[in-house]
Each structure stands twice: as structure tokens, then as C-alpha cells.
Structure 1
Amino acid sequence: MKGDAVSLTEAEAGVLSHINADTIAMLTASLVEASSENPGGTEGAAVDVLQKACRSAGFTVSTHDVASERPNLVATLPAGDGPGLMVLGHSDVVPAGPGWTSDPYRPRFADGRIYGRGTTDMKGGLAAAVIAMQALSHASAYGAELSGPVQLVCTVDEEEHGIGVRDFVTRRPEHSFAGCIVAEPTDLTVVRGCRGASYIEIDITGRAAHSGRPADGRNAIEAAASIVDLIRFDHQQLAMDADDLLGSGTWNVGTIEGGQGISVVAPTCHLGIDRRLMPEEDPHAIAERLRAAIRESAIDTDGVTVDVRVTMEMPGFATAADHPLVTTTVSAVTDGGRATSVGGWSAACDGGFVHRDLGIPAIVFGPGDIHAEAHQPDESVLIADLESAARAYALTALRLLR
């Protein structure tokens, strides 16, 4: 869809005039400088920067320590009593890792981009949301009254186990919300559905014996291989019933550890498995079906035991293509002068919890490209895309919260 920067009311144009690309870029840079690598549990420094920016903009701000130095933040632009708009993000970033051509936590500006760990995933999106909300605080001066609040929710630990969003949904927000925009990097595509993710870990216990007479033992690695065959078969079956938006659920055996030595029948083996989830799929039900298949295949008999457990889950979601949150965001992007499209996302995000546990319709929309730029050396984001995202957030709020 081509955007032509048309169809803006006088009030909308007035609000958007308060969005400045340089301001977003500088806030992004400040957030990047506040390293918040995960693992590490150091999101507090980045949240301090975000909190100061939100308080300076006049928002109501609260924080809650999910763990030591790991605070969730909720910043609210108060408005009417009707349903509001939530913007969701996370403060943690993956470790910088090797291969950088400059210090990953000293932001560098070049070729219209900001370089540094977290610029794309997702401190640029957080900065765009703050500046959009700051612009919206001027709406009444242009005769535009918001019917509900706009709220930024920034959680910890999204890149690992999701303890931040799990804590947030159990506390439940005070307001009701017409929708949630997850400000993850989608290259300014309006993503109306995401697969979820889960980790399933399997421990197989056999019995050690001398390899010269393997029949005396029970080989845990051989049992693991049979389980991998079951997983491979199910993966192929899932692919035969792919969804047009999100494809299908997938299995990936990511780690395998086992054995005691080459001359010993392996007494133990461990499998670490990633199972991507379609919306409404329950990883615990999936694990139970796998246990049943293992029993039916007689893998866990005659001295072999198998333990299957879910160690992480992040639900998926899908929002209808004609939902006002989707259509309003699309018009906001295109009327703001940028091209966009509507699609699904192969990645998972915290939006699934908000959709499943709070019943809030969700989309994902933000600056940067998760595949080309995130989690890589010399991560960067286009400053022009930061501005476009902020304009889209502000316009969506103005139109959704009439």
C-alpha cells in the first residue's frame, strides 16, 4: 500500500507537528547507552532513562520490580474514561556478541541510521512511542479530545523467559483497552498475527553397561533418536495443514546432550526442543500428546524412562483483518506518507499474553527489520523509520480513541 501523506485533519496535522525525528533519535541513543543485556538482569538502567523521559513529558509513571534491578514500567497519558490504547515494549536486549565494528553501547550516527545494540530490537520503538504520546498530550490544543488513555507498558525479560509480561498480566491494568500495539520491529508492516513459542525439554534415563555387551544396558541415546523420529514426523504432518497467515506450528530439536563415554551404553540423554505455536495451541497439551506417542511406540519401556516437561511458553495470537485496530493503523501509516502491508510474523512476542490473558486485541508494528537488523553485529535502525512509527502511533490513537 502506498502512502501519500493525505487525509489528515487540521487537528491531526497539529499533533504530528510535535513529532521530531532528532528527538526520537536522541532518546533512542540514550536508551542504547543504558546497556540492558539479558541474560544479566540489568534492565533497571534503561528503565531509568525511559522513566525520566516519560515523567518529563508529563505522563503518570509507575514501576514495579519483578526481580532485583528488573522493573516493569507503566506510563500513562490520561484522557477520557473510555477504552484506551496500549503500546507494549521491552527494555532488555540480547548480548552484543562478537563482530561489531564499534562499541555496541556507544550509539553511532551514519547514513541516516543509528547503530548500537537495541536500536531495532527495540529501544527505537520505545522512543517512538514516548514521543508519539508526548505529541498526543497536545491534542486538546487542536480541539481533539481522546476518549481513553494511551499507555506505554515496558516489560523486562522478553528475550528470555518473559517474567515481566507474566507479572504484568497477573496484576491486570486499571483501564480497559481497545487495542494493543506491540512496538517490535516489523519494518513498518502491520502484523496482525504471530506464532507463539514454547520450550519442551525431555530427559531420558536408561541403564549403563559395557559397550562390548550392549544388550545388558538400555541406551538412552537410542531412545532419544526414536523420539526425534516422532517429532520429525509430526513436523511434516503440521506442514501439510499450513495456515495462509502464519504457516504452521514447527518443531526444532535445538540441543542434545547424553552419554557417559564411547565404551559405555548411554545411561542418560537430554533433548532441548523449540515448538512454535499457532494461536490457541497449548504447549502442555502438545507435550501430553508427545508423551502418549512415546508410550504407544514403546520407547519408555523395558528399563527406559522418559520425562517430558514444558519449560517456557509464549502464546501466539491473531487479530481479524477487518478489526478497527488493524484498519486504523494501516490508514495511519499510509496517510502519514509511508507504504505498508498487513501480514503475519514468524517470531513470537509479548503481545500473545496481552491477547490471551487480558483479552485485548493486538497487532505488532514498529521501526526496524527483525530479520535483517535485530540480534546481529552493527544493529541499526533508520531514523526516518523511527519518525514514521511515531507518526503512526499518534495517528492511530487519535483515530481509534475518538
Structure 2
Amino acid sequence: MPISPLTAALDMLGRDSRLGTNASETVSYLMDLLYYGEFDILEQVSSGEAYERVNLIGTKGHEGHDEPLWLIGLFNSSADPAPSRWASLDGKAFSPRVDTAAGVIRGLGANAKLDVVLKILAASRFRLEELVRPVYIAAVSGEEAVGSGVRSLLASGPTPRGVALVGAPTNLELWADHPGCVTLRLELTRRLRHRRMPPSRGFFEVEVDGRSAHAQLGRGLGDDAIAAGLAVLSRLRAHGELRLLELEAGESANRVAGRCRMRIATSFDEMPDLGPGVVSRPIEDGAALPFPVGNLFKAWLRARDAGVAAIRERLGIPRNARGARPAVPVWTGHLKTHRNAVEGHLTFWTGPGVGVQEVCEGFAAAVQNALVGVEEVEVDIVVLQDRPPLAASEDDGPLRDLAKSAMRAAGLVPTVAAGTLTSDAGLLRAAGVPSLVFGPGRGAGDLYRDDESIPLAHIDAAYRFYVALIERWCTRRG
């Protein structure tokens, strides 16, 4: 092993563009680990509707008819949490460090990025001649909110073989079930026409603070800035006339929005007291301002609500295993106005047997019906990502049994469970690869927070587990 798991974890977290390093350094560091681990390396780049994705595939072992072990992990950080105080990091924004007193390692992306490093280090312990089955490491860009490179990985070559263990913060449990998800972008565009700014007395910028968290835990951990921003608009309308000029809120479709920023024109000169967490300031004279989008924004909300109401009961959530049933079936995590458009991103969590086409068609039909009579508005609905649900299968039996044996060898209780985070395991299983989910990290409660962390004990335990699993699947000692 060229480097200790803890040292590698800190090195990985330190390679973040928000720390002043080039974004490519994360990929370069992973390639170095693969090189020193004697892997053959393939770098794959693909462009999607909204994101560019990079995959690093490291292969080790003799190619043949034997089924490989795929160890798959993500290496992207998510958007910044809000607020971003990072008090637990002594004011060093995003800087990773070991918090011995709390028994954790802190840093942005800890619950995703560290897992793939541990997999590489575990596989690096084995010499090529020891392997009777190959081990493949796939470090794929993306995270739960934006999809990953697994689809391009599956599309780039022959039908994959073997078995797969997909990374996610499962609290060191083995997941055989989780829901699926479909993320849509709903955009309404108003055809260009001549407009004038209506007369107004006041022009203000309004900032509403929330607290970001995973949408499935938002009621307990997060404060939704989108909901708070809409409530602010309602209070202001009760105070006088108001025109919405601009709004931007939220970071991604699976998160409780941490911030909302608005520009408004009003019939009053002074803003009323809007309570804690809301700051308003006059817009300077001479500032360039967009035309009002209030009517278009109301149409977007009406269309969104109609679409959600039409599809909510068709998402199949009760078909998930009990532990895999999401508390929140639908979430709007991002809203943004443009000069003549309003767009928002929504995530729908799904159960077995519910496909992306069913979700899209039901949602789109209801949206169109809600906009009947609204003139000069065009509707665009785009699928940003979809992940099939994962449901326990007899095909996973051999992998599940070996994984439980590896957990015992690593000193873990061999727990097979279910969770509400989504992964790409369902995609792999649909492609014929038996797949399960496992990883360090306590779960969704630590995601998208300004004190994101992972227990130090998870680093060593996950590393030992991956070593034991590779030994059992890929060597004669297993």
C-alpha cells in the first residue's frame, strides 16, 4: 500500500477547486493512485444535457471469461452548502482536517470522494499474479443530484460482466434496496414582445437565508429558502403592489434550498420588517433591471403544482422495501428566472416498475392542461437524470454472501438493509450486473452541510472490508 487510507483521504479532500486548485487535480490524483497500484487506466469523457462527465476506469487482473468485481465510486463535490460558515473548520473554508475530539474527518464531499480512494488503495494491495478474477475500479464524476457517468460507462463497450458494489454513505451497511429518482427541468418561455417597465416607487434586492440539507431529511435539518422566499413575496403583496423582476434560489433538485435572492419593484418606498433571515436593500439608481416576470412565474408555479398533483400517486413509492420508502416523494430544489423564462428543477422519487417515460408523460400532460388559456408561453421539459430503483434480487445472492463474509472479516456486523439515497446500482442490475450498495458515511443527514464529516472509524473499516471482499472474489485465498 503506497499511502495510508487517512493520508489519502486528506489528500483527496484537499484537491477541491474551492481551495484554489485546478479542478483537474482530483482526476490527476486518482490517476496517480491507479498508476502506483499497477492498474491499466482508461479516461472517458462524455457530455450530457447539462453536465460534462469524466470516468476513470482502472483494471487489474487477467482478462478472460472470469467475472470481474466492479468497485464503483463518485468523486465530485456538490454545490456549496448554505450557510457556509464552516465554524467546525476553524474558519478555514472547505479545508479538510481531522477532528480528533469528534472522531471525524471534515471536508466538503467527504461522504462521496473518500470511498473511491479506499477502493483503489484496497485493490492496490494485491499483486497481479494473485488475482484469478480481475478487479475493476470505476471512479465516475457526478453525485446524487446531477447523475453520473455510469450510463456512458455502460454505453461505451460490450455488455458488462461480473458483479458490482456501488458506493454511497450507507453507514457501513449493505443495501439491497433503495428508491429510484427522475429529475426534470421545467422551463416556461414567454415569446419576445415589446414591453415597458411599469411605474414603481421602490426597487429592492431581497435575500432570504435557508439551510441546505438533503430533501429527504429537510423537515428535520434544513430550512427551505424557496418556500421562505415565496412567503416573503406573499407578505409584501399584502403591504402593497409588487412586481417580481428576478429570482434565483436553490442549488440542486435533491436539496433543501439554502438561499433565495430576488429583485422586486414595489408601490412603496420603505420595506416592512420581514423578520429574521431576510435582508433587503434598495437597488442603486441607474442599475440595469430586467422586466417583470411575475405573471410568468405564477404560471410556472401553477403548472408545477398541477404536474406534481397528477403524478404523485403514480410514483410507486409503497412498492419500495419499507426502509427504502422516501419521506418526500417530490422536491423542487432549484428555481431561476431569466429575461423571458422561468426554469425549475424537480426530483421525483420512484418505486419498482415506474419508468421515466411514465413520470414524464403524466407530468407533461398535467402541465399543458394547467396552461390552457395562457398565451405566448412555450413549455420545455427535459430529463436531467433518471436512476432506476434497486430491489433485492436472488441474482445478488453470491455477491451478498461474500460481502457479508467480508464484513465479518472487517469487524463489521453483516447487516443487509435499505435506504432512501439513490445510486447507480439499479442501472447496473438492469444491464445484467448483480449489484449492491455499500460505503462509509453515516447517511443523508451529513450531506450538503457546512460541517460535512465522516467518522474516522469508517475510513479504516471500509478499507478492511474492500480488502476482504477482493480477497474473497478475486483470489484463490477467498
Which interval holds the TM-score relative to the shorter structure? 0.7 to 0.9
Structure 1 residue 96, shift from structure 2 partner: 4.5
Residue aligning to 1:9: none
After superposition, the Cα gap between the structure-2 partners of 1:177 and 1:379, relative to the gap in structure 1 and judged at 3 Å, is same
CA distance in 1, matches of 2:439, 2:383: 29
**In the alignment, which residue of structure 2 is the partner of 1:15?**
none
Are residue 105 (structure 1) and residue 89 (structure 2) matched?
no
Normalised by the length of structure 1, the TM-score is 0.75
In 2, the alpha carbon distance for the partners of 1:70 and 1:257 equals 24
Task: Give the 5 Å matches for 1:17-36.
Answer: 23-36=4-17
User: What is the distance in 1 between the residues matched to 2:408 and 2:146?
Assistant: 35
1:10-159 alignment to 2 at 5 Å? 23-36=4-17, 43-66=23-46, 71-79=54-62, 81=64, 82-97=66-81, 98-101=84-87, 102=89, 103=92, 104-111=94-101, 112-123=103-114, 125-137=115-127, 140=130, 146-158=131-143
Match of 1:361 among 416, 427, 434: 434
**Percent identity (aligned):** 19
CA apart distance, 1:342: 1.8
2:12 partner SS:
helix
In the alignment, structure 1 residue 384 sits paired with structure 2 residue 457: yes
What amino acid is aligned across from residue 38 of structure 2 in structure 1?
A: G
Q: Which residue of 2 aligns with 1:170?
A: 155
Distance 1:119 1:169 in 2: 26
* 3-state DSSP of counterpart to 1:281: coil
Amino acid at match of 1:73: L
Structure 1 counterpart of 2:111, which letter? T
Following the alignment from structure 1 to structure 2, what is the Cα–Cα distance between the partners of residues 284 and 305?
A: 24
**Match of residue 252 from structure 1:** 331
CA contact (8 A) 1:74 1:154 kept: yes
Q: Report the counterpart of residue 389 of structure 2 in structure 1.
A: 317
Return closer, same or farther for 1:41/1:109 CA change in 2, 3 Å cut-off: closer
In 2, the alpha carbon distance for the partners of 1:247 and 1:188 equals 19
Question: Is contact 2:178-2:321 (8 Å) kept?
Answer: no
Query: How many residue pairs get matched?
Result: 361
What residue ranges of structure 2 are gaps of 5+ in the alignment? Answer: 199-240, 242-294
Q: d(CA) in 2 for partners of 1:36 and 1:71?
A: 16
Corresponding residue for residue 393 of structure 1: 466
Query: Given the alignment, which residue of 315, 335, 351 partners 1:278?
Result: 351
- The equivalent residue for 2:361 is 288
Partners of 1:42 and 1:276 in 2: how far apart? Answer: 34
- Counterpart of 2:379 in structure 1 is 307
The one-letter code sitting in structure 1 at the alignment partner of 2:56 is L
CA contact under 8 A between 1:36 and 1:91: conserved in structure 2? no
Distance 1:361 1:42 in 2: 36
Query: Cα deviations across residues 274-320 of structure 1 (Å, max 9, x unaligned)?
Result: 2123345332332112233456x574257475625133123123253
* Alpha-carbon shift at residue 238 of structure 1 (Å): 4.5
After TM superposition, list the pairs within 5 Å mapping 1:228-267 onto structure 2. Answer: 228-232=305-309, 234-236=311-313, 238=315, 241-245=318-322, 246-247=324-325, 250-255=329-334
RMSD: 3.8
Q: 1:197 aligns to what SS in structure 2? A: strand
Decide whether aligned partners of structure 1 residues 53 and 77 sit closer, same or farther in structure 2, where only a CA change above 3 A counts: same
Picking from 342, 346, 349, the partner of 2:420 is 346
AA in 2 matched with 1:105: S
After TM superposition, give the deviation of residue 190 of structure 1 in Å: 0.5
Question: Matches of 1:400 and 1:293 in 2, distance apart?
Answer: 49
Structure 2 CA distance for partners of 1:345 and 1:204, relative to 1, 3 Å: same
The 8 Å contact of residues 107 and 114 in structure 1, kept in 2 or not, is answered as: yes
Alpha-carbon distance in 2 for matches of 1:100, 1:58:
38
